[in-house]
Amino acid sequence: MKIRDKGKFLQHTISLLFLVLLGAWGVISMVQQGGRALGAPVQRSAPAAALQATSEGVTVPPFLTYQGLLRDPEGNLQNGLHKITFRIYDRLSAPLNDAVWVEEHAQVMVRNGFFSVLLGQSEPVSPALFAGPDTFIGVTVDPFAESVPRQRFASMPYAMYADYASALKAPDGKPGSAVYVDAAGAVGVGTTGPQAQLHISGTAGISPTVQVNAGDQQVRIDENGLTFDGNLRLNSISPVDLFLAGGGGRVGIGVREPLATLQIVEPSGQTALQMDIAGPGNGAMVNVSPTNMTFSGLWAVTTGAEEKTAIRATSSGNIGIGTTVPQQRLDVAGGAQVDALDVGNGLRHTHGPFFIQRPVEIYRFTNLTDNYDDAPLPLTVTPDRYECIVMGWAAKYDTDDIDTEIVAVWTYIKNNRWYVRAQFPSHLVVPPAGGLERPAVDVVCFNNRFGEFSDPPSRSFEGAR
């Protein structure tokens, strides 16, 4: 028993001494190698890639560490410098030439079979190489062939969750979830409670909330609303559907460069504009086509601050001017002036006399009583439209008549109407009873809508001469 205990003690002592010597040898090797990292590949001139600055904007080191144990074909651990080539494949059985990434390390330090290499120093390792689940690495130690089998890249346990990341934090951690994905797949930017497939919530101090630039076109959403800088086109099939002209505030539908605040062009000959407005009854509709403009329901034109109806078109096709309830195809309330009127099937009236105005009206009064009675002209000859004068008269007259009185015939206005009066003294009957002369008088009325008097005649009123 004692001999066995002494043997164990001697074995432990030798093992401890071996470990101490191995540690001392390692320290001496590190001092001798200087800046050469333990197990790292030898760099001839350039500084170590791990100490170099990465590309601007890259926050994760773009290098992979590969460690291995190197033996010869007899199974002996190797030492010294070796040339090792690494290849990455997207399938296990791919030929060497089909490798998607290759990097050669000419001097890899191997100690007791162990080596460590930093991949990506000369050939950048793209993250796209690991977009799929099947990625393999092959190792070739010169002068031997590539080691078999190739090794599959695998995930670390927590790295596997990165495939299902639910949040992306800002670099400073504020806000905690700059981008958030809920269990239903809704994405929130600036919010952890997205209410839509993509929900963007503005963050204090950041404006605009959304900005999209494409060439010289820009779309912005901020606290003031939605802003377009450039043209807005809806419907990618047609190149000229809806455009907002930059700088002018003009809208073009069917035209790329609108010339008005709103310009609509329909080159295909289809309906260019249709507006359906719901309301009491069936509502109203406006339809503009290449051949006409149609209205369904009531159509009205209002004027003034009180929005008085000037023109009204009903669903039955009647048009009213000055009235909201036209009873005929054209119902005018308040009078009308027509410069030229062409009537094909004659004229008729239903609400009183129907008058046609002519440039000149001539009227003859026969046997005009000369007892100061009024002889009215027709109602159509109104003082605001006509100027009426006596052009001539004829009467039976003899020398026995009273020659001390004045003989007169004239026109005058009374109660907004033209009249004519005659005064003929008679020896048979003393005025104002009248005599037997009974003159014939011609009156001419000129329509002032067809011309003007250079020297308008003076007017008499209420029978005065």
Q: What is the pLDDT of residues 300-316, one digit of tens each?
A: 777 766 667 778 888 77
Residue with tokens 């003294």: 425
What's the pLDDT at 217? 77
- Mapped onto helix, strand or coil, the DSSP state of residue 20 is helix
- Higher pLDDT pick, 172 / 266: 266
Residues 303 and 371 both lie in one domain: no
Residues 376 and 323 both lie in one domain: no
Tokens of 31: 């001092």
Question: Does residue 26 carry a pLDDT above 50?
Answer: no
Number of domains composing the chain = 3
Task: Give the domain range for residue 312.
Answer: 299-332
Distances (CA, A) of 23 to 10, 28, 41, 313, 356: 20, 9, 21, 107, 130
- Higher pLDDT pick, 64 / 3: 64
Residue 345 identity (one-letter amino acid): N
Distances (CA, A) of 376 to 81, 248, 367, 437: 138, 65, 14, 20
Question: Residue 67 in contact with residue 109, Cβ under 8 Å?
Answer: no
d(CA 408, CA 396): 14
Residues 80 and 146 both lie in one domain: yes
* Beta partners for residue 361, in sequence order: 445
What's the pLDDT at 87? 97
Quickly state the pLDDT bin for 457 (edges 50, 70, 90): low
Tokens of 278: 């719901």
Average pLDDT over residues 160-169: 70
* Domain-embedded: residue 455: no
Residues 380 and 309 both lie in one domain: no
Residues 81 and 119 both lie in one domain: yes
* Beta partners for residue 376, in sequence order: 419
Average pLDDT over residues 250-269: 77
Kindly state the helix (H) or strand (E) to which residue 38 belongs, with its residue range. none
Residues 381 and 309 both lie in one domain: no
What's the pLDDT at 104? 96
What's the pLDDT at 43? 40
Question: Does residue 351 carry a pLDDT above 70?
Answer: no
Which segments of 206-343 are extended strands (E)? 210-214, 217-222, 225-229, 242-244, 251-253, 262-264, 273-277, 284-288, 293-296, 299-303, 308-313, 319-321, 330-332
Quickly state the pLDDT bin for 261 (edges 50, 70, 90): confident
What's the pLDDT at 283? 62
Question: Does residue 30 carry a pLDDT above 50?
Answer: no
Quickly state the pLDDT bin for 444 (edges 50, 70, 90): very high
What's the pLDDT at 399? 56
Of the three residues 332, 349, 378, the one that is the final residue of a domain is 332
- Range with lowest mean pLDDT among 71-80, 251-260, 268-277, 452-461: 452-461
Residues 419 and 382 both lie in one domain: yes
* Domain-embedded: residue 439: yes
- Higher pLDDT pick, 243 / 11: 243
CATH code where residue 396 lies: 2.60.40
What's the pLDDT at 34? 37
Quickly state the pLDDT bin for 375 (edges 50, 70, 90): confident
Contacts of 69 (CB under 8 A, 6+ apart): 77, 113, 114
Q: What are phi and psi of 115, to 5 degrees?
A: -145, 155
Average pLDDT over residues 98-117: 95
Mean pLDDT, all residues of the chain: 74
Residues 83 and 137 both lie in one domain: yes
Question: Does residue 28 carry a pLDDT above 80?
Answer: no
Question: Does residue 343 carry a pLDDT above 50?
Answer: yes
pTM of the model: 0.38
What's the pLDDT at 95? 94
Tokens of 392: 């001539």
What's the pLDDT at 310? 78
Average pLDDT over residues 152-170: 76
d(CA 66, CA 117): 5
Average pLDDT over residues 115-127: 92
- Higher pLDDT pick, 4 / 272: 272
* Domain-embedded: residue 16: no
Question: Does residue 29 carry a pLDDT above 50?
Answer: no
* Domain-embedded: residue 285: no
What dihedral do alpha carbons 63, 64, 67, 71 form, nearest 10°?
-90
Of the three residues 152, 174, 202, the one that is the final residue of a domain is 152
Quickly state the pLDDT bin for 136 (edges 50, 70, 90): very high
Distances (CA, A) of 189 to 175, 186, 202: 10, 10, 8
* Domain-embedded: residue 379: yes
Distances (CA, A) of 14 to 1, 7, 20, 373: 20, 11, 10, 164
* Domain-embedded: residue 365: yes
What's the pLDDT at 16? 46
* Domain-embedded: residue 443: yes
- Range with lowest mean pLDDT among 103-117, 181-195, 257-271: 257-271
- Higher pLDDT pick, 65 / 208: 65
Quickly state the pLDDT bin for 319 (edges 50, 70, 90): confident
Residues 307 and 377 both lie in one domain: no
Average pLDDT over residues 328-342: 75
Residue with tokens 């003989």: 407
Contacts of 84 (CB under 8 A, 6+ apart): 104, 105, 108, 115, 117, 139, 140, 141, 142
What confidence tens digit (pLDDT) does each residue in 274-291 have?
A: 777 666 555 667 777 767
Question: Does residue 335 carry a pLDDT above 50?
Answer: yes
Contacts of 357 (CB under 8 A, 6+ apart): 380, 385, 447, 449
Could you tell me how far CA 338 lies from the centroid of its own chain?
Answer: 46
- Higher pLDDT pick, 234 / 49: 234
d(CA 313, CA 30): 102
d(CA 87, CA 104): 9
